[in-house]
Amino acid sequence: MATIQYLSHSAFLIKEDENTILIDPFITGNPNNVVKLEDLNPNYIVLTHAHGDHLGDAIEISRRNNALIICVNELGVYLSELGINNHKMHIGGAYNFPFGRLKFTIAHHGSSTNDGRYMGEPAGVVIQLKNKTIYHCGDTGLFLDMKLIGELNKIDVMLVPIGDNFTMGIDDAVIAVDFVNPELAIPMHYNTFPIISADPFEFKSKCEAINKKAKVLEFGEVLELS
Ligand code: NI
Ligand code: MN
């Protein structure tokens, strides 16, 4: 059985059998963090883009346990310069990993280091586990091609940014859920900082108003997927 744990912000920990996949591990400096960095020992780290609240502690974790970081090419080149184990991909490409098939999708956002080095395009990611498919939108505004992502994949769980300002706000996020039509939508990227304050229960009720199921996860909460 697969599980997904919401670590807060855009960070999730997926477990299935012997595989542990950590997405966008923003731990240090995250006021909503509830886990200890040293307790995170994933086999894989998936990065949607290089902004500090997504790249987060990925380099330190991978240095410690040699976790394979899966990311777009330009960010991977940067990681290779640092000697970090990584698998470079790009938008529209998929690859069969031991845990399942992973494909990067478009996301409308930016991706650079704090000192301005270009880190390639930001991305979303579709991860097909044995029986469940998860779509992590990354940081993005609403885009019509989300309909295509929903048509090409039967999405079981959609992880949707709702915090506004840098990404979709609640109303656009609800439209995104309508486009993708997942079995379950889970809000993310909210209330980490005052500028992305949002009420996840408003998102949930607005999803339910269009007959889409949504669930608000507590920081640290684990959800069983099958
Ligand atoms: Ni970002
Ligand atoms: Mn962000």
pLDDT band (50, 70, 90) for residue 226: confident
Q: Which neighbouring-strand residues pair with 101?
A: 96, 128
Q: Residue 131 C-alpha to ligand 2 middle, in angstroms?
A: 29
Q: Please return the burial class of 140, using the count of CB atoms within 10 Å of its CB with bins 0-12, 13-18 and 19+.
A: buried
The mean of the pLDDT values for the chain is 98
Rounded-to-integer distance, Cα 28 and Cα 61, Å: 11
Q: Residue 171 C-alpha to ligand 1 middle, in angstroms?
A: 19
pTM (whole model) above 0.95: yes
Q: Residue 55 C-alpha to ligand 1 middle, in angstroms?
A: 9
Instruction: Point out the ligand nearest to the CA of residue 192.
Output: 2
- Overall size of the chain counted in residues: 226
Q: Residue 111 C-alpha to ligand 2 middle, in angstroms?
A: 10
User: In the prediction, which pLDDT does 55 show?
Assistant: 98
Sheet of 100-106: strand order equals 94-97, 100-106, 123-128, 133-136, 157-161, 184-188
Instruction: Point out the ligand nearest to the CA of residue 164.
Output: 2
Q: Residue 143 C-alpha to ligand 1 middle, in angstroms?
A: 16
Instruction: Point out the ligand nearest to the CA of residue 10.
Output: 2
User: Looking at domain 2-217, which of 3.60.15.10, 3.40.50.1820, 3.20.20.150, 3.30.210.10 is its CATH number?
Assistant: 3.60.15.10
Percent of the chain clearing pLDDT 90 (strictly above): 98
